[in-house]
A and B are shown apart, each in its own frame.
Chain A
Amino acid sequence: MVKEDRILANLDDNTLVDLALREKNQKAWTELITRYYGKVAATVYRIIGKSAEAEDVVQEVFTEMAKAIKSYRRDSLFSTFLYRIAVNTTYKYIQKNMNRNETSEEPEFFLQIGDKSSGSESSMIKHEKAQMVNSAMKKISPEKRLVLTLYEVEGVPLKEISEILKQPLQTVWSRINQAKKELYEILSLNM
């Protein structure tokens, strides 16, 4: 059993997909999810914050991945395929919940940056900055937070964001700028 797990851990993503899809090998599927859970969760938490709802979104991402796996072509990386699903699923969640009132739990992703317990001055300052960014991020709309996070944190090129969100390049660009402006205005008010 341990030997099989070790072999699966050494296989590339495409082979794991094949094993799961063609040979219904659940261990291969679990290995694939183990590999990407952290990255997917990080992307979702950055956009909608770490909450019970965000965990449901992460689950939904992998369910969507299972449904769409047949359309995965080997000409691009598996991680790119999964990343697109993660962003799309998160975007759908945001659209669905746009008219809803404040979520019960608020984003706290940035709070994890900077270890205040370490005691060093630089990490205390960093933690303080992270707290301010976190509270400012909470105040901007989820749609703006999404584009800002994709562009600034995830480093996704503008063209790709426009393709993922199916919105014109100029709309995305102006939304990013509006988000930055709002965020920095909130930050400078708090300083």
Chain B
Amino acid sequence: MVSEKHIMIEEAIALADGRYVLLPETEKHVAECTDCSSMISCCCGAKDIFAEAKDFVPEADSAKIAEIAAKSFANLPQDESDEALTLQTMTFAKSIALACKPFFAFSLGLALFIGIMLFQKADYVENTEKTVEIATAGATEAVIETKEDYASGERESGAKVQLAKATISVISNTYLENITDTDVSMKKGKAKFDVVTGNDFRIDVDGKFLVRVLGTSFTLDYSDGKLTAEVFSGLVEIVEKANGAATQLSKDMNKTFEYKDHQKEQQIAITTPGKKTKNNPKKQDFALTPGKSFLFQGREALSAGKTGAAQQLFTMEIEKGHEPDKALFELISINEAKKDYAEIANLVKKYDRVMRESRVYKEEIMIKGCLSQKKSGSRDLPLCHDYLREYPRSFRSREIKRIIDEK
């Protein structure tokens, strides 16, 4: 006999999302009811289509891409120096316009503008004749530059880079990039920096250190995460980006800084439970990847069949992560597959607060907890009573009542 109560659309959605399990009686009903089974099948079917659509990328037409590239390239921002020059010109013309009659100011402004345009054009023609070698991934290719000293690339020992406010003298082959009047990034090598007094200048060393100077002379020697700074005059401040620690070096001081990969240090070796012997040391089962949540990595471990690691990762997500309820649900599901109902009852008791604060998983965890309490032989079934109090009109309350009555 098929029960009259059909499953609701919300329940079918939750089932497709994997955050709902059918109770035995409902399962029986779904198996016999065409309406309910077709609703569940269409929800799950749509999920499959969505999953497949994720990997679908339309083919690219090269002519179309070239057109898009040309149009968008025209919208790239102007060079900073051009902007400053245009601004200066406009300010100057404006002040004249205030002082003189509009017509005179307009003529003067126009003449000035034409003059600057001609000057810039001449400068551009001169610069395009210069080429610099850009060393990238072992390959060398001539690329047209507008200003040689500001181009990214490796400089050989003895080379000099003359910037507006600083001079960089290369001592041993140095890779420089993102060069502006006030900033430069150094990827490797050794160079001497002479910064004109009164000018702020910053050197980003391989994204790991930041060197701030205010008019000084010093050398930087950097390779494989190790930076040595030697100051000849003025004051230099070196900031270790990993932890924000700042060190100031003044005249005749030198110091070596070593980059510590804190993220790597934080990697935790997750091992599966098992006996460790001399001949067979416990192997690392799963290494944490920084930047990914414990929950995400737990799911990865689970799909790789590393249940032990997954359990540990989900526990870490519950205790330290942002989505403890999802992790608790996953942890319960693992124990459910193992039919370890006592463990589920313990988990629900231990992480009671996580369960009660969850908007999405509360009901489901409560039901699982209630069933586990029953199966593990608990006397009072507190979670079943809690469930009836919280969800008196739920579709499943009838079954929970039955579970309590059976007890």
Contacts and interface: CB of A to CB of B under 8 A. Distances in A.
Interface of A: 3-4, 6-7, 10-11, 15, 18-26, 29-30, 33-34, 37-39, 41-42, 45-46, 50, 55, 58-59, 62-63, 65-67, 69-70, 74, 109-110, 112-114, 126, 129-130, 132-133, 136, 152-155, 173, 177, 180-181, 183-185, 187-188, 191
Chain A binding surface SS class: helix
Given A34-B60, A66-B74, 18 more contacts: A10-B139, A20-B73, A20-B76, A22-B150, A24-B76, A33-B72, A37-B68, A38-B58, A63-B71, A69-B77, A70-B77, A74-B207, A109-B53, A133-B45, A133-B49, A180-B13, A181-B9, A184-B42
B56 A152 contact: no
Interface residues of B, number: 53
Chain B binding surface SS class: helix
B342 interface: no
A15 B152 contact: yes
Contact of B73 (A59, A66, A154): A66
Given A110-B53, A188-B42, A30 B69 contact: yes
A7 B71 contact: no
Given A58-B68, A184-B9, A29 B58 contact: no
Contact of A45 (B58, B72, B73, B151): B58
Q: Lowest 8 CB-CB distances: which A-B pairs, in order?
A: A66-B75, A30-B69, A38-B57, A62-B72, A187-B42, A66-B72, A133-B49, A152-B50
A85 to B, nearest CB: 11
Nearest to B150: A22
A39 B39 contact: no
20 contacts: A7-B139, A10-B139, A15-B177, A19-B143, A22-B178, A33-B65, A34-B65, A37-B68, A58-B68, A66-B73, A113-B53, A126-B52, A152-B47, A153-B50, A155-B54, A181-B13, A184-B12, A187-B45, A188-B9, A191-B38
A62 B57 contact: no
B53 A181 contact: no
Interface of B: 9-10, 12-13, 38-39, 41-43, 45-50, 52-54, 56-60, 62, 64-66, 68-77, 79, 136-137, 139, 141, 143-146, 150-152, 177-178, 207, 359
Given A18-B152, A153-B54, A181-B9, A29 B76 contact: yes
Contact of A130 (B13, B49, B62): B49
B49 A129 contact: yes
Nearest to A184: B43
A23 to B, nearest CB: 6
B53 A24 contact: no
Contact of A41 (B49, B58, B79, B136): B58
B58 A184 contact: no
Contacts of B56: 42, 109, 112-113
B76 A59 contact: no
Given A113-B49, A184-B13, A33 B69 contact: yes
A9 to B, nearest CB: 10
B49 A110 contact: yes
A136 B43 CA distance: 12
Given A26-B73, A29-B76, A7 B53 contact: no
A110 B143 CA distance: 43
B151 A23 contact: yes
B71 A69 contact: no
Contacts of B59: 38
A51 to B, nearest CB: 12
Given A18-B178, A22-B150, A66-B73, A187 B46 contact: yes
Contacts of B178: 18, 22
Nearest to B47: A152
B136 A15 contact: yes
A154 B54 contact: yes
Contacts of B76: 20-21, 24, 29, 66, 69
Nearest to A30: B69
Nearest to A133: B49
A19 B151 CA distance: 9
A177 B152 contact: no
B299 to A, nearest CB: 12
B65 A37 contact: yes
Contacts of B13: 177, 180-181, 184
Given A69-B77, A109-B53, A23 B58 contact: no
Contacts of A62: 68-69, 71-72
A152 B46 CA distance: 10
Given A23-B145, A59-B71, A18 B139 contact: no
Contacts of A180: 13
A116 B45 CA distance: 17
B392 to A, nearest CB: 22
